Amino acid sequence: MTASADPTPFASIDALSAALQGVGYYADRRLATAVFLALKLQRPLLLEGEPGVGKTELAKALSLALPRALLRLQCYDGLEQREALYEWNYAAQLLHMRAVEGRNSLEEVEREVYEARYLIRRPLLQALQAPQPGAVLLIDEVDRADEPFEAFLLEYLGEYQVSIPEIGTVRAQFTPVTILTSNRTRELNDAVKRRCLYHWLDYPDRERELAIVQAQVPGASAALARQVAQFVGRLRSQPFANAFQRAPGIAESVEWAKALVALDTLVVDPEVVTDTAGILFKQREDVAALTRDFAAELLKPEEAEEA
């Protein structure tokens, strides 16, 4: 395994949770345990979950809490190795060849143009070569990349190294903390999963969502924040037959709370819900399904819910 003086500066799972909270990220015990183990065992962590549940944010928060530089690789269909790992700076290589034309032998020129200074390092290579204490590498939305790209990742994920034909094998100097995220638009390759620790990131419970809303929207009163957390929680837990196509994520709760504050809302009522439904939902059918009557039903206070 590669060198790493201190794989985790956190003495315990609680210490890690507290450090994440210190930078504004609220993790539940299971998530904190997964992150703690990923750090201790120096394994990549694959986070899957619905949109807006804090997958990307976790990598950002972790880089602040450790602290380590964040390197980010956004995946998409057609992503190629040269955007992920490295490419040669052809223009500079060409200039060099012109400059030494007739003076140097072919072997010399070949050696010179493949020197490190003509290498453009992309996030994966940057992560492997990051100075102490190493970087956090976020491989975001890996399900959007294609299968050949996943296969290409295996060497990195399993051994923290990559092979570059002109240079040889590049090994990590300091094991990068590696977070992969997926929205599960397709099933990932088993070989990728086997090399990672896995965590399914669920919607937060009401208490955690309340804490997030209060932290991110300090202008919201405690009562308003509670109403937001409760209402959004109920929207998500509709029985299958009534379920919305795309339930709101944490980002939507936070946005909605900000909107309610901007509208000087003291108490959420069905009218303000339908007026602002476009913040909670981004699907026309979902907006239409949130009628005033339905909103009134969902806004009933706790006692009524339990009765």
Ligand X SMILES: Nc1ncnc2c1ncn2[C@@H]1O[C@H](COP(=O)(O)OP(=O)(O)OP(=O)(O)O)[C@@H](O)[C@H]1O
Q: Which residues bind Mg ion (CB under 5 A)?
A: 56
Residue closest to ligand X when measured from CB atoms = 54
Tell me: does residue 136 bind ligand X (CB under 6 A): no
Q: Pick from ligand X, Mg ion, none: which does 100 bind, CB < 5 to 8 A by kind? A: none
Find, among 4, 28, 72, 17, the residue nearest to 200 by Cα. Answer: 28
- Residue 4 or 233 with smaller CB distance to ligand X: 233
Shortest reach from residue 122's CB to ligand X, in Å? 21
3-state secondary structure 121-175: ECHHHHHHHCCCCCCEEEEECHHHCCHHHHHHHHHHHHHCEEEECCCEEEECCCC
Q: H helices then E strands: how many in the chain?
A: 17, 9
- Residue 4 or 140 with smaller CB distance to Mg ion: 140
- Residue 55 or 68 with smaller CB distance to ligand X: 55
- Residue choice 10, 16, 38, 52 for contact with ligand X (CB under 6 A): 52
- Alpha-carbon gap, residue 231 to 225, rounded angstroms: 10
Tell me: does residue 212 bind ligand X (CB under 6 A): yes
Find, among 203, 144, 181, the residue nearest to 60 by Cα. Answer: 181
The answer to whether the Cα torsion of 118, 122, 126, 128 is positive or negative is negative
- Residue 47 or 273 with smaller CB distance to ligand X: 47
Tell me: does residue 56 bind ligand X (CB under 6 A): yes
- Alpha-carbon gap, residue 264 to 245, rounded angstroms: 29
Close Cβ partners of 147 (under 8 Å, ≥ 6 residues apart) = 189
Q: Pick from Mg ion, ligand X, none: which does 26 bind, CB < 5 to 8 A by kind? A: ligand X
- Residue 50 or 150 with smaller CB distance to Mg ion: 50
Tell me: does residue 203 bind ligand X (CB under 6 A): no
Q: Are 213 and 229 in contact (CB under 8 A)?
A: yes
Tell me: does residue 33 bind ligand X (CB under 6 A): no
Q: Pick from Mg ion, ligand X, none: which does 176 bind, CB < 5 to 8 A by kind? A: none
Tell me: does residue 269 bind ligand X (CB under 6 A): no
Q: What angle do CA 72, 75, 76 make, to 5 degrees?
A: 150
Shortest reach from residue 307's CB to ligand X, in Å? 32
Joined together, the tokens standing for residue 104 give 């140097």
Q: Pick from ligand X, Mg ion, none: which does 158 bind, CB < 5 to 8 A by kind? A: none
How many residues contact ligand X, by CB under 6 A?
A: 19
Q: For residue 177, is it left (φ>0), alpha (ψ between -120 and 50) or beta?
A: beta
- Residue choice 10, 34, 35, 54 for contact with ligand X (CB under 6 A): 54
- Residue choice 243, 251, 272, 289 for contact with ligand X (CB under 6 A): 251
Q: Give residues in contact with ligand X (CB under 6 A).
A: 24-27, 49, 51-57, 181, 183, 212, 216, 250-251, 254
